[in-house]
Amino acid sequence: MPPSPSPSPPRPARRTPENARKKAYKEQTDVTNGRRRREAQLLQLRKSRREDTLSKRRRDDASSPSTEPESDIGPARPESDRPSSSDPPPLACATDADSNKLLGIINGLKSENISLQLEATIKIRKILSVDGNSLAEEVITADVVARLVELLSSKKNPRGPQLQVEAAWALTNITAGTSEHTEVVTNAGAVPKLVKLLESPRSDVREQAMWALGNIAAESQRCRELVIDHGGLVQLLSQFNEHAKVSNLRMATWTLSNLCFGKLPSKSQTKAVLQILQQLLNSIDEKILSDTCWAVSYLCNHGTDEIQMVIESQICCRLVKLLMHSSPKVVTPVILALANVSAADDCQVQFLIDSGILQCLLKLLTRNYQKCIRNQACMTVSNICAGTAAQIQAIIDAKMVPLLIQLSQHGESDIKKEAIWAIANATSGGSPDQIRSLVGDGCIIALCNALVLSDADLLYACLNGLESILKVGEMEKMKDEAGTNPYAVLMEECGGLDKLENLQGFNNDAIFEKTIKLLESYWVEEGSEYEAPKEPSPDDT
């Protein structure tokens, strides 16, 4: 029996006034509706737990390959429609029957009949799309690949474009394999033909060609140059026009980001790419946006010239806004790009501050983002702290210092380090007034606690920071009747002096010298015990 249809409810009465309004008078709805709210919360909880249970089941076995590997920081990402290797291969090993079948396929491929060619190409493509298929190795021979490349420029025929797609698809699958496989494809002269296909009037043809080129570009710098030398970049950029379909734009952006992974041969090319990226940054499509941001972040990796061009292309403002994008797939490349920019010169850093980056960073650091995002955000902050006094002031004004101090104590280890860098940088470069404010927030303790770390560079930075602080403390000493350096006292109180003393045993010249200098300058007169520790020999290993 079906659930019986319920009678339709009567029309809702329109008489809102008195009773509804009366409820609105001095309403404290939440308080009086606690029960309903609790029930709603439980319902929500129930829903998400149901989803969890379901999605656990859905991920239970590995039958769900992901078409596109997750964007990782660093290497470009080869793609194919190969399912993941955990899938049981349908063919365990090549049998005689398989060999016969393969022979048939290759004959079809070599025939002059387009139907046979098409059929054979599809079969090859399918063989290649199953990972672990022992036939795949046999298919990827110079012969077959050369023939596939030939088929890319098939004659005018109603089924020509389909054949082009299938051939390009097969090549795409091959280029998703090992470096050797990709080399077979490039050696067969596929690149110029694939570039040529980008002029095809058919979007499916262009899309498949881009995919193959993207995979090739992901292989190595040499491969990227090969694609660019054959005009691939120019053709690719022309794909971004108002008639393009979203799927084409996605593919083109992804391929472009792979080409950007290496340094582009000329500045004018970088400029042209940036012009396109600038437009793409306004896309609402998350995939396009994400790949665009990856492209930008790769460009920023290539050096200060590129960073300067990025700034001149006026996209930083947009990038800063994108820090607040809801998807980590976008935020990750953006923060990587901005971290690179923040490592550049003071002017470039100022540009970021003017775009309002600090408020965004504050949010990234306080909310529940992935660790790598928070880490990069913290690194960006520490880069900014290494800037001018005005930039340090901006950090203070953004109320970032208490957060940094907290992160330096309780953050995860990488983030902790970055936070200490930030504090060390700020104290080293800050003006006396800024240093007083930083000390007020608790920087001395943070820096002293860091004196037990083993990273020599970071230790040195901390000592530098403490030195600046102590110098300011000397100025205070003049004002103080007792004539003590208040900051030195603070250091003693928080156990910093003991840690400093211990550093005399640290095996690094620069640190040893800095330590001695600090001890001698600020504590020596109090007693002689710091003067000549027993074995201060820097040569001691």
Partner 1 sequence: MAMEITQALLAAQSPDTQTRTAAEASLKQFQEQNLPQFLLSLSVELSNDQKPPESRRLAGIILKNSLDAKDLARKEYLTQQWVSVDPSIKFQIKESLLRTLGSSAAEARHTSSQVIAKVASIEIPRKEWQDLIGKLLGNVTQTFAPGFLKQATLEALGYVCEEVAPQDLEQDQVNAILTAVVQGMTSAEPNSDVRLAAIRALYNALDFAQQNFKNQVERNFIMKVVCETAVSKESAEIRQAAFECLVAIASIYYDYLEPYMQTLFNLTAEAVRGDEEQVALQAIEFWSTLAEEEMERQDDCVALDELNSPVLHFHFIDKALESLVPMLLETLLKQEEDQDQDDTVWNLSMAGGTCLGLVSKTVGDKVVPLVMPFVERNIAKADWHSREAATFAFGSILEGPSVEKLSPLARSGFEFLLSAMKDQNSHVRDTTAWTLGRVFELVHRPASGDPIVNEKNLPGIMTVLLESIRDVPNVAEKVCGALYFLAQGYEDAGPASKALMPYYESIIAALLSTADRVDVSNVRLRASAYETLNEVVRCSYAPETLNTTAQLLQEIIRRVIQTVELQVVSSDDKEKQSDLQALLCGVLQVIIQKLGSSEGKSVILQAADQMMMVFLRVFGCRSSTVHEEAMLAIGALAYVTGADFAKYMSEFYRFLEMGLTNFEEYQVCSISVGVVGDICRALDDKILPYCDGIMTILLKDLSNAMLNRSVKPPIFSCFGDIALAIGEKFDKYLIYAAPMMQSASEMCMHLDTTDDDMAEYINQLRMGIFEAYSGMLQGFKNSNSEIMIPYARSLVQFIEAVFKDNSSDDLVTKAAVAALGDVADALGGGIKVLLANSSFYNELLSECLLSEDYTLKETAEWAHTLIQHALQS
Nearer to partner 1, 154 or 283 (CB): 283
Residue that the structure tokens 């002017």 belong to: 347
Alpha-carbon gap, residue 378 to 126, rounded angstroms:
47
Least distance from C-beta 373 to partner 1, angstroms? 16
Least distance from C-beta 79 to partner 1, angstroms? 13
Phi-psi region of 11 (alpha: psi -120 to 50; beta: other; left: phi over 0): beta
Least distance from C-beta 293 to partner 1, angstroms? 16
Q: Other C-beta atoms within 10 Å of 49: how many?
A: 10
Structure tokens at 522: 């600020």
Q: Where are the alpha helices (DSSP H) in 198-245?
A: 203-217, 221-229, 232-237
Nearer to partner 1, 52 or 529 (CB): 52
Alpha-carbon gap, residue 386 to 388, rounded angstroms:
7
Integer Rg of the chain from CA:
32
Nearer to partner 1, 419 or 519 (CB): 419
Helix (H) or strand (E) holding 57: helix 34-59
Least distance from C-beta 528 to partner 1, angstroms? 44
Structure tokens at 58: 């859905």
Least distance from C-beta 55 to partner 1, angstroms? 9
Nearer to partner 1, 21 or 517 (CB): 21
Alpha-carbon gap, residue 406 to 523, rounded angstroms:
29
CA angle, 438 then 443 then 447, to 5° = 145
Nearer to partner 1, 211 or 487 (CB): 211
DSSP codes, 457-469: HHHHHHHHHHHHH
Least distance from C-beta 345 to partner 1, angstroms? 29
CB 236 within 8 A of CB 260: no
List contacts with partner 1 (CB under 8 A): 1-11, 13-14, 16-18, 21-22, 24-26, 28, 30-32, 34-35, 38-39, 42-43, 45-46, 49-50, 53-54, 57-58, 60-61, 63-67, 81, 83, 90, 126, 129, 246-247, 284-286, 326-327, 366, 399, 406
Least distance from C-beta 438 to partner 1, angstroms? 17
Nearer to partner 1, 45 or 452 (CB): 45
Q: Other C-beta atoms within 10 Å of 367: how many?
A: 9
Nearer to partner 1, 81 or 225 (CB): 81
Residue type, 189: G
CB 393 within 8 A of CB 426: no
Burial group, residue 314, by CB count within 10 angstroms (0-12, 13-18, 19+):
exposed
Nearer to partner 1, 49 or 271 (CB): 49
Least distance from C-beta 368 to partner 1, angstroms? 10
Nearer to partner 1, 66 or 537 (CB): 66
Least distance from C-beta 56 to partner 1, angstroms? 9
Q: 294: closest CA among 271, 260, 325?
A: 260
